[in-house]
Amino acid sequence: MGRPAILTLPVLPSFARAGSNDYEPSEPTWSVDYSTRGDIGQVNQFYGTGAYLFLKTPTADIPVYLQRSGWQYQGSYGQVDLPEGIPDIRFTGPFDQAVAHQ
């Protein structure tokens, strides 16, 4: 017996007016999740390909990683070309890592 095929299609909201065939999709929206490394009380979440990880360090240098079959180092925040729409990363309180994802 063969494996079942699963077909997934993106669902886009329709903002078209009645009688209009023009539709321009909006730019992808980025969200940023802040958390504390090593805190097992944090909700664990898996991030897909294309997510960016930012780590707070004792110095001003913030390493940036890109999710592509694992986290791959890209360089330092402010020196890496990031996609349009990623909000500024600002660590506050106890948070020392951030993940930007769509």
Q: How many CB atoms within 10 Å of residue 56?
A: 19
Question: pTM of the prediction?
Answer: 0.69
Domains of the chain, residue spans: 31-101
Whether the predicted pLDDT of 89 surpasses 90: yes
Q: How many CB atoms within 10 Å of residue 48?
A: 8
Percent of the chain exceeding pLDDT 90 equals: 60
Integer Cα distance of 76 and 3 in angstroms? 44
Integer Cα distance of 11 and 44 in angstroms? 26
How does pLDDT run across 4-14, given as a tens digit for each residue?
344 333 434 44
How does pLDDT run across 39-72, given as a tens digit for each residue?
655 545 788 999 999 999 999 999 999 999 899 9
Whether the predicted pLDDT of 19 surpasses 90: no
* pLDDT for 40: 59
Integer Cα distance of 100 and 81 in angstroms? 14
Integer Cα distance of 31 and 49 in angstroms? 14
